[in-house]
Amino acid sequence: MQPTPPIDRPAWKALQPHYQRIREVHLRDLFAADPTRGERLTAEAAGLYLDYSKNRVNDETLRLLVQLAEESGLRSGIDAMFRGEKINVTESRAVLHVALRAPRGASILVDGQNVVPEVHAVLDKMADFCNRVRSAEWKGYTGKRIRNVINVGIGGSDLGPVMAYEALKHYSDRSMTFRFVSNVDDTDFAEAVHDLDPLETLFIISSKTFTTLETMTNARTARAWSLKGFGGDENAVAKHFVAVSTNAKEVAKFGIDTANMFGFWDWVGGRYSMDSAIGLSTMLAAGPENFRAMLDGFHRMDEHFRTAPFDRNLPALMGLLTVWYTDFFGSQTVAVLPYEQYLKRFPAYLQQLTMESNGKHVMLDGRRVDYDTGPIYFGEPGTNGQHSFYQLIHQGTRLIPCDFIAFKHSLNPIGRHHDILIANVFAQTEALAFGKSAEQVKAEGTPDWLVPHREFDGNRPSNTVLADRLTPAALGSLVALYEHSVFTQGVIWQIDSFDQWGVELGKVLAQRIIPELENKTEPQLGHDSSTNALIRRYRKAKGI
């Protein structure tokens, strides 16, 4: 069946004139007209409280956005995903990250087979391995304790593990060192190992396909570095290398015993895999109990997304608001601003989750879209961003919807720090929404010529996500919130949020250029004049 473009849906058509009216309305007036707005336009689930009252919406907007979700088949889309249907149409794959956190005993079928027992079998194997390494029962080849763990992976096989390691550092075993090598830039590897002893170092080679150029290059370098420490004794590999992959054949070919491999499945997308075996480094750092608590947090948000009505459904609401700003206000970006130092890598993680998922220019049937899809996500932890790019958010010419993420309690309470941090969250959302009028600025005695510079228009939208404290469960809920928000957007836009063909061309061209940089004999260059000249310059610098 041909998908209906969102712009042809009745709700979208009704949102257009509605937008023309509401774009003139200021948040000051919306709040003045309804003293309960700040409590009414909120929703709560899985330990997260979402205040979406500071968005440029009224009840009619919300009603139409929910109608848009219904007309777009969001309900049946959710059911299809949870039922294991092959909703990743271009790769003919099920999309079942929700199965990764389904409780033992649940049943989720892929091609008629319940995958939940396999999921738990891998989790149990991971837990057993992690307990052995953490207790030093698993030793290095020479009998030394494993003190260092290096995850080698890229994209979803790196960003989730790095983000989760940083996010759960408070809960991690501080006697161990964790590092992450992703970039094929040799400096990444060199810096990761420069002060480490190979006899105490375990490598996790994380790659869904086990063919990714960067990861396999780094994995081979890691193997050589490790073996050098063991005088070339290949028998050491079994104690110092494990793999996380769906590709047992390639793992064996690389020389890792498949007994030391932790599997996952083609129905787990790379950017949706941090809660699969790809999270092995997370489990090693924070322990199996904390990892399971994180999975519970994910699952609670999954259940909320699956069952809650859209007008109280956190991921649905956030997804719909993103569509509202992207397609009606013409916003190009979303700023994600975690006021929690442990979430410092969360924006980087979200960039892959959101942009690799929804950076698409065709609908499910291949027709080109004639509306905007996925916005650019960016962010930094607060309060650092305030002293950097917030100027543009407050007074620039673009509308940048913001997600503020904050916790009621610090994990490291020191004096007044947390009160000051949280005061900044609330102050920023207030300043963005309400601004400061010219009259207010003048009343402060500001000279006339300076007034325009010091005036804040306000009417800049934001969400505030507030949770108790950054526990493993809260992290799971937060990640699932964004995963399902991305899904909601994809359903409205009728795109495949689960493929990533856009990364292929560059990979193919790089494979062609590598020998042109390395061959001793002058290659016949058939690129454009710019690429040819760059290649020649590089070869000259290498002296070939």
Window of 31-39, 208-216, 220-228, 281-289 that interacts with ligand F6P by CB under 6 A? 208-216
From residue 27, how far is each of 140, 174, 328, 433 by CA, in Å?
61, 47, 17, 6
The residues pairing with 466 across neighbouring beta strands, listed in sequence order, are 49, 406
356 is catalytic: yes
**Interface residue with ligand F6P, options 212, 282, 326, 485 (CB under 6 A):** 212
Read off φ and ψ for residue 245, nearest 5 degrees.
Answer: -165, 170
Burial of 542 (0-12, 13-18, 19+ CB in 10 A): exposed
Told to check if 97 binds ligand F6P by CB under 6 A, we report no
Minimum distance, C-beta of residue 155 to ligand F6P, in the bound complex (Å): 3
Pairing status of strand 42-45 against strand 48-51? antiparallel
Angstrom distance (rounded) from CA 43 to CA 50: 5
**Interface residue with ligand F6P, options 61, 72, 215, 313 (CB under 6 A):** 215
Largest CA distance in the chain: 78
Contact pattern for ligand F6P over residues 350 through 369, marking x by CB under 6 A: ------x-------------
Q: What letter would DSSP give residue 352? A: I
Q: State which of positions 476-515 bind ligand F6P (CB under 6 A).
A: 500, 503
Residues 6+ apart with CB under 8 A from 53: 31, 37, 38, 39, 40, 41, 42
Which H/E stretch holds residue 121? helix 116-134
The catalytically annotated residue of 417, 507, 518, 522 is: 507
**Residue in the shown chain whose Cβ atom is closest to ligand F6P:** 270
Shorter beta-carbon distance to ligand F6P: residue 200 or 356 = 356
507 is catalytic: yes
**Interface residue with ligand F6P, options 97, 240, 271, 360 (CB under 6 A):** 271
The catalytically annotated residue of 228, 253, 387, 417 is: 387
Minimum distance, C-beta of residue 165 to ligand F6P, in the bound complex (Å): 17
Q: How many CB atoms lie within 10 A of CB 331?
A: 19
Place of tokens 């610098």: 541
Shorter beta-carbon distance to ligand F6P: residue 340 or 483 = 483
**Interface residue with ligand F6P, options 263, 270, 288, 375 (CB under 6 A):** 270
Pairing status of strand 113-114 against strand 148-152? unpaired
**Interface residue with ligand F6P, options 50, 62, 68, 154 (CB under 6 A):** 154
Told to check if 213 binds ligand F6P by CB under 6 A, we report no
Report which residue type is found at 347: P
Question: What does the block give as tokens for 346?
Answer: 């969360």
The catalytically annotated residue of 166, 200, 214, 356 is: 356
Shorter beta-carbon distance to ligand F6P: residue 423 or 503 = 503
Question: What does the block give as tokens for 213?
Answer: 């150029």
Told to check if 156 binds ligand F6P by CB under 6 A, we report yes
Binding site for ligand F6P (CB under 6 A): 154-157, 207-209, 212, 215, 270-271, 356, 500, 503
Q: List active site positions.
A: 356, 387, 507
